[in-house]
Structure 1
Amino acid sequence: MSRVPPRRRAQSRTKTGAVSPPQETGTDISMALIKSARKSGQLALQNRGFTELPSVVCNLNNLSEQEVKSIDVTLDRASQDDWWTQMPLSKLFLGSNRLTTLPPEIAQLEHLTILELQDNNISKLPQQMESLSNLIRLNLSHNKMTELPDCLCHLKDLRVLALHHNEIKSVSDNINSLLSLDDLDLSHNKLKELPDAFTFLSRTKKINLANNCLEALPADMDSMIQLVLLDLSNNCLTKLPEAIGRCGHLEQLVARHNRLETLPPFSRENHLKELSVSFNAIKEFNVGHCEALVMLKILDLRSNKLASLPEEIANLQSLERLDIGNNELKILPNSLGALNHINSLLVEGNPLRSIRQDILRRGTVYLMKYLRDRLKESPMQQKIRKSRGGDGQELVDSVDRFTLKSSKTLDFSNKALSTLDEKVIDMACEDKINQLVLTRNIFVTVPDTLERLAQQLTELDFSFNKLTSIPPFLSQAKHLQYMNLQSNQLSDLPPELSCLENIRELNISQNRFSKIPDCVYGWKRFEILLASDNSLTSIDVENLAKIETLATLDLRNNSISQVPPELGNLIQIKSLQLDGNLFRNPRPAILAKSTQDILAYLRDRIPS
């Protein structure tokens, strides 16, 4: 165990020549605190209002004249305060004072391992700091440093260096001398660049460079072979060096709020578990990324410019959280359903067309179930799809009857069907299915065979076909609650459908409607009308007012030339979307506000 060396400290003398007790402790440092520090090796002086460091602190390891004389006393009079029971100062806590610098005498505290100086006014450090060769942790956060000084680069045993929340604009080229540095925090400074020597921090595991002004990084980032966490958030980066993808131990890469347009390629030997690059301008997450980043648990791509995701995203089998909200995705790959560990899938803010809004609103569990139900078909199902349906018996044989009976859902999506054989209808009637999904086929007309099934249907999905009309016999579907006719060639619905009083949601987006079909105005439980991307020219407020349950009205991307102010009286509407039309008022700034604000704006313009 180290003991305080018996070095003599000069003492002041009175006029009579007697040695006076130490006076440099100051009024804020009691002798009891000094004695305690010498016993424990720790001194806590936080929040004392110091503007400079009392000299007694730097001399704490030096013995007074009286203490030197005590060496000659007999051991029979051993005291708890004897010099040989004292410890050298190893931990000094000076946070939350008003220090502007440290005295050169700080070098006398050569046994220091921890020095806490956070929340002061320090702008410079004495060169003598380089003598603190045993320092392991140094906290200079929340000060006024303008550079990472060269004297710190001589601290070869330093493991943790906290310099966040300063005004640092430059880093010494000798930073590569910090051979033992494990954790470096330079966040919330004013760095625009880093020296090439920065990449020689080969033992550093955690680096935080968030909230600076960095426009580029050194090219040889793969020299940082022990790097585990790298935070680059809130900078001005337009790209990441390819070498980052070769940092073999990197587990967390965070680069939110930059100007990135691409992601670097990643080696297949990477260990990345978190990739957070939200709020950038990234246009592609490609097959190569899906094949390399197989250990990812968190993938945050929110608020970028992604237009698609590859089916190979199913390779990310460790993924637990996927955020792809606020991008430009129109479809989601069904292969997402194969990610068995996902507990959070965020997709809101995308112009998704292939998934019903009620499924999206239900959250991750229901969305994942929807995607799993639409995974790639079995070899038999693929054969049927390629043969454009084959005969009815082949379709029947392709169905898992046990699943059919339990789910009550008959899904023949993406099979190039144009008709439904009687054998299929027989099976559906026998198993009492009530949900029929025929999306992404080539139906031109609704098959007449479907009439037998109409009375038991609650959900009907004919989206993404080539329908030009809907037959009146669907008026027999008295229990129908959901009907999806998105992306067909329809221009109207038969008036006979007005008797379908149980319908809650109708999707007629991406068709050829010039007006909202009259039949919907008689639906008593109608809640959601999705009619974007048509040729609607007007809004019939008088008839819409009859639908007291209407909560969602999507009229985006039509040819509406005027928005009646009376629409503001339909306060039952909770979600109103009108952008992408011909009218000039309300202005886009108004349309960007909440539905309640839009309705209030319209009400204010109703003539008195």
Structure 2
Amino acid sequence: MAERLLVRALNGGESTKIVTLNGKKMTKMPSALKNLSGLRALHLENNLIPKVCSEIRALTQLTTLNLGNNLLEEVPEEMKYLTSLERLHLFGNRINRFAPGACDGLRNLILLNLNHNQLTSIPEEISRLKNLMYLSINHNWITSIPRELCFLEKLSELQLNYNRLTCIPEEIKFMHKLQKLFLIRNNIEVLPERFCDLINLRVLNIAGNIIRIFPPGFRDLKLREFYCEENPLFLKQPVRAAIKEDVWSLQEITSRFIMNQLEANNPFLMQAIEGYPEVKNTLSKGRECAICGKLFLTTWMECVEFVSPSKNWKTSRNLHHVPLRVLICSFKCFNQRGSNLFGIAKVQSK
């Protein structure tokens, strides 16, 4: 049946550029495809196809392939032969894995749609899709974002809605071209500090996660749209802190002195520390106090500052304040805080 349907579609002979066989209840791909080396677009969505035929490797000029709503269980190895492919639609299948080598030849792929499948992970080989600009893996079972995904330098839009993500890797800072990020309905608790390096991000939707607070540089993002409804964001609830003396360890006192001297370009310390890589690594973890601006090593108090969202942002309804994470170096600085900055109460385990 598949062969007859294809022959019927080939009125243009070998010059045929587009074949559309949607919703024909096909159970396999027609082997006659091997005779259409000049084919540019193949649409086979809404059928019953469980695997890709080997003859597809002849379609080296194919730029669009749509196999959405079929019965595929993997992103097949045959994809690597489609070296001209730019758009690949595999939504609505049963895909739970990538076959080895499936990404190898897809150097021209711009768009990949894997919505509504059964993937639990994204393979490291995704990094081979060097020209990928649009990646959509909504409604799967993804639990983590591999760091390799963050090295797709041309990626402009990433959709991972309705998955099982719990965190975002620090390497997301490398996605300099990212403009749209959708993470709706996951289990994400925090955004990493380097998330704020996404200087070209314009649309962010993190609705339906478990985020309470945002990193300090979040206010500097040049967003146009920001949606965060159904997250347990911190509200303006001040915390009383008992008056006490600041007591620091000898390591903390020494670290603070050295870090602030290095910040002031003390030539003696700058030269001396080069001989102690372990010390240099420890000091690199220093943070800047939000009140006095001095560097410190051990977090004295985690606070939250409430800022108004930018007037340039289109935001969720009733979003009046954005809670930002703030670190303070001492009780003395805590007493000098502004009216919109509060200490975060620690929940004591019983």
- Normalising by structure 1, report the TM-score: 0.41
Q: Tell me: CA distance 1:131–1:243, structure 2 relative to 1, closer, same or farther (3 Å).
A: same
Residue 268 (structure 1) shift: 3.7
Residue 304 (structure 1) shift: 1.5
Paired amino acid for 1:286: P
Residue 182, structure 1, aligned to residue 48, structure 2: no
Could you say which residue in structure 2 is the equivalent of 1:229? 111
Could you say which residue in structure 2 is the equivalent of 1:321? 203
Paired amino acid for 2:20: N
Could you say which residue in structure 1 is the equivalent of 2:121? 239
Q: Tell me: CA distance 1:315–1:128, structure 2 relative to 1, closer, same or farther (3 Å).
A: closer
Aligned residue for 2:200, secondary structure, equals coil
Paired with 1:437 and 1:381, the residues of 2 have a C-alpha distance of 16
The structure where strand makes up a greater share of residues is 2
Aligned residue for 1:336, secondary structure, equals helix
Residue 127 (structure 1) shift: 10
Contact between 2:79 and 2:105, CA under 8 Å: does it hold in 1? no
Alignment of 1:463-502 (within 5 A): 464=344, 487=345
Paired with 1:421 and 1:275, the residues of 2 have a C-alpha distance of 39
Give the alignment partner of residue 382 of structure 1, picking from 293, 312, 334: 293
Cα distance per residue 1:98-153 (max 9 Å; x no partner): xx7786xxxxxxxxxxxxxxxxxxxx545996992111011111221111111113
Q: Tell me: CA distance 1:380–1:299, structure 2 relative to 1, closer, same or farther (3 Å).
A: same
Q: Tell me: CA distance 1:101–1:230, structure 2 relative to 1, closer, same or farther (3 Å).
A: closer
Residue 208 (structure 1) shift: 0.4
Contact between 2:33 and 2:55, CA under 8 Å: does it hold in 1? no
Residue 381 (structure 1) shift: 2.8
Q: Tell me: CA distance 1:438–1:272, structure 2 relative to 1, closer, same or farther (3 Å).
A: closer
Paired with 1:282 and 1:174, the residues of 2 have a C-alpha distance of 37
Contact between 2:2 and 2:26, CA under 8 Å: does it hold in 1? no
Cα distance per residue 1:286-312 (max 9 Å; x no partner): 111x23211111111121222221100
Paired with 2:151 and 2:53, the residues of 1 have a C-alpha distance of 34
Q: Tell me: CA distance 1:149–1:420, structure 2 relative to 1, closer, same or farther (3 Å).
A: closer
Aligned residue for 1:299, secondary structure, equals strand
CA RMSD of aligned residues (A): 3.6
Could you say which residue in structure 2 is the equivalent of 1:280? 163
Paired amino acid for 1:284: C
Paired with 1:184 and 1:128, the residues of 2 have a C-alpha distance of 16
Contact between 2:90 and 2:115, CA under 8 Å: does it hold in 1? yes
Residue 418 (structure 1) shift: 4.1
Give the alignment partner of residue 307 of structure 1, picking from 180, 185, 189: 189
Higher relative contact order (CA 8 A, sep 6+): 2
Residue 195 (structure 1) shift: 3.5
Give the alignment partner of residue 85 of structure 2, picking from 180, 204, 220: 204
- Normalising by structure 2, report the TM-score: 0.68
Paired with 2:56 and 2:329, the residues of 1 have a C-alpha distance of 65
Paired amino acid for 2:167: E
Contact between 1:148 and 1:168, CA under 8 Å: does it hold in 2? yes
Contact between 2:10 and 2:16, CA under 8 Å: does it hold in 1? no
Cα distance per residue 1:404-440 (max 9 Å; x no partner): xxxxxxxxx6435646999x79xxxxxxxxx723423
Paired with 1:420 and 1:283, the residues of 2 have a C-alpha distance of 33
Q: Tell me: CA distance 1:421–1:214, structure 2 relative to 1, closer, same or farther (3 Å).
A: closer
Aligned residue for 1:156, secondary structure, equals coil
Which blocks of at least 5 consecutive residues in structure 2 are unaligned? Answer: 238-286, 301-325
Paired with 1:235 and 1:421, the residues of 2 have a C-alpha distance of 50
Paired with 1:184 and 1:153, the residues of 2 have a C-alpha distance of 15
Aligned residue for 1:174, secondary structure, equals helix
Paired amino acid for 2:292: Q
Contact between 1:247 and 1:270, CA under 8 Å: does it hold in 2? no
Residue 140, structure 1, aligned to residue 21, structure 2: yes
Aligned length: 275
Cα distance per residue 1:345-382 (max 9 Å; x no partner): 222222223x449xxxxxxxxxxxxxxxxxx9799831
Aligned residue for 1:322, secondary structure, equals strand
Which blocks of at least 5 consecutive residues in structure 1 are unaligned? Answer: 1-99, 104-123, 358-375, 390-412, 426-434, 441-463, 465-486, 489-509, 512-532, 536-608
Paired amino acid for 1:415: I
Aligned residue for 1:337, secondary structure, equals helix
Contact between 1:130 and 1:152, CA under 8 Å: does it hold in 2? no
Cα distance per residue 1:484-537 (max 9 Å; x no partner): xxx38xxxxxxxxxxxxxxxxxxxxx69xxxxxxxxxxxxxxxxxxxxx9x9xx
Contact between 1:314 and 1:336, CA under 8 Å: does it hold in 2? yes
Contact between 2:163 and 2:185, CA under 8 Å: does it hold in 1? yes
Paired amino acid for 2:162: F
Give the alignment partner of residue 342 of structure 2, picking from 411, 418, 439: 439
